Structure 1
Amino acid sequence: MRLLEDLAYRGLIYQSTDQEKLDERLEREPIVLYCGFDPTADSLHIGHLLPILMLRRFQQYGHQPIALVGGGTGLIGDPSGKATERTLNTKEVVEGFSNKIRTQLSRFLDFEKAENPALLANNHDWLGELDLISFLRDVGKHFSLNYMLAKESVNSRLEKGISFTEFSYMILQSYDYLELHRRYGCELQVGGSDQWGNITAGTELIRKSDNKSDDLFGLTIPLVTKSDGTKFGKTEGGAVWLDADKTSPYVFYQFWLNTDDADVIKYLKYFTFLSKDQIEDLAQTLETAPEERKAQRTLAEEMTRLVHGEAALSRAQNITAALFQGKVSSLTASEISEGFQDVPSSTIEGIELPLVDVLIQVGAAKSKREAREFMQNGAVTVNDERVTDTSILVNTLKAIDDKFLVIRRGKKKYFLAALS
């Protein structure tokens, strides 16, 4: 299957400068392409996965991707998708974010490949060297105000206002394309649908600056949406990060496992590298045996393995199985820490404290009376053991690795007590 044919099947083509010519160019010989990632936090999140994986797909087809870290543009702020001005970070903060993002990108792209190794670049290397007069004369002169105001990323901000700083972002991103074209022969920029105006501005800048008549390409991917209208990539705990310290592999695994039936096949196409036949088989199973949730389990496995590795996937599956079977006592302390990261928890001072008091402290009960009622009714288990004795003390209970008491009230409400 040709690359663009595969991308079209997966629903990954939203806009393209000239899809027919791009297809011909890709089939003729390898192309150099790039996508930029601004360091607005110390980790990328799953909203960045689609463009990252787009670079990976191109590399698998023999093309050479450039992952561009926006160490320079990150100091400015992209107005795309924002209703108000961004808070500007300091140079030191952006540099720190950039270094962490570089490390994350290396997990998805092959920088050691013999024939078409991925490249890693930072636009601060050239944007930081520009002087204002030369920039205005050599670059700014190619951008008319009318042209810039017509772009959605700018036009959508005019009513509430936009600073000259963010207004200039389009020019800086266009200059990135020009610089990468000059340095590496880059002919294609890919990005999210909100970047279309910046991408096409870049192709125009190259044509005007270097008198290029050759075809230069832009390709955008769709905004990821959920069928119920809620925002993709969000949980009750906030964004789903690619950094295991910010979002544990277990929570990451659960995010994908909980995908709605209406979305799961779309996400399998978007995010995994499963073949068309494999995806169609899962779609058939979803239709005939939705209760098996095979498509969701496959999605969760593929994504957790891709982002966090095989060992993290096994750990996430082990935690999931233990919780489903009510066997939390089989987990290690590290698995408890990971699996119960987002449940109500408290550190318990003093092992001679009554369990009734602990239930209040971790939020499992509002009062001693309520705690006793829960226990007497058989609604409280501690590390899989039902506890009905309202006078029992913490030091008589067996803690997991002498560290944790996993308290369950009813069937699904978990609480965690950490012994000091």
Structure 2
Amino acid sequence: MKLLYLDCQSGISGDMTLSALIDLGADISYISEHLKKLPIDPFSLNVKKVDKRGISAKLLDLQFSDVGKIDNEHSHTHSNEHNHSHSHQNNHIHEAYEEIHSHSNDHVHDDGHHSHSHRKASTILQMIEKSELPKRVKERSLAVFQIIAEAEGKIHGMDPEEVHFHEVGAMDSIIDVIGVCLALESLDVVRIIASPVPTGYGKIKIAHGLYPIPAPATAEILKGVPLADFHVRGELTTPTGAGFLKALANEYGQLPAQAIESIGYGAGKKDFEHPNVLRAVLFNEEKIEQREKIIILECHMDDFTGESLGYIMEKLLTSGALDVYFTPVSMKKSRPGNLVTVLTKPEESFLLEEILLRETSTFGVRKSDWTRRILSRELKEVETMYGPVTVKVGILDGEIIKSYPEYEEVKTLALKHKVPLVDVYIEAQKNARDQLQIK
């Protein structure tokens, strides 16, 4: 099991990420074989060695048999004649997506994507779900496309599933996203840490004129992702690259203080005064203490009702909090109050702070960085005399060391068989130990 660090000093795009992972050691044959089982255009996938300001890196070389070699300087802006071939409704959607994805030659990370057929997000998601891709590859690919679709849907005021992708719906970008997830599987990457990411500055030329960098969809996706202050004219981070950071990174920060196993460099297609590369660094997770960075948010309140506390706990949990709890405390003038404590991943902390400040009576929220060591967790099904029960198991160093039956299933069986809940619970725990060989 491996830990991957994405060093986004020069930004990130789809093709840069895939080529960096291949340079890192991901099996390109494994990636191609799985991709060719999907209902996409025939293609060949290779990388070539290039020099970026003194750094030797891999550049993605993607070819489609029906259109020939991808032009690295291709612009995504379509002509009016092409637009007129769509219905009025499709024209509207198509033009809206050109606003986000029609990359001009001024872009730093022009992914070189040809314009294939436009596809709805729902079509791409269904293709992945029905595929024979490995389970974790499916989950990661779906997560990336869902993040991008939600951002596009919000920008254009429409259902994310009805979004028509342009850049991200093209065949080569589908290869970028799913290819990256296959590369992660080839490397057995379990966790990903990403550095703060720069967006660049300036304007990008799109179908309706000039838009600021970052593009609207990219900015939406990057909400909650730490940004880096790297003052370079041009688009450094694309929507696809931002999607990887938002959907796949477990945390953001600096290189972990551990022994590096290997390093890969993925090249962008433009040349600048800085090395236009994405650096991918691999660590052996089995050799390091598995600790996860979390954020602790706290505030005190002595004028918030019990009903309101219950409401805010539910809202915080549904908004991404890992845990929420209340501790009775004595406040000024001996007033009884509550300490509200929220555990969250770093990327969700800003949103949860906003909820506390906007929807409670507190005037301030404290924030602190903690780490925690957690057990790997899986759901297993065990048979009992009352019926099958799902149990959550905790795994340490590959060994199941504890299990807990799912309460709702235990409750349902207890009511069905008219027996005490504790009887079903004990039966499920006993059978879990026997059937799963828990010591």
Q: TM-score range by the shorter chain?
A: under 0.3
More strand by share: 2
Higher Cα radius of gyration: 1
More helix by share: 1
Query: Under a length normalisation based on structure 1, what TM-score does the superposition of the two structures give?
Result: 0.23
The one of the two structures with greater contact order (alpha-carbon pairs below 8 A, sep at least 6) is 2
Query: Under a length normalisation based on structure 2, what TM-score does the superposition of the two structures give?
Result: 0.22
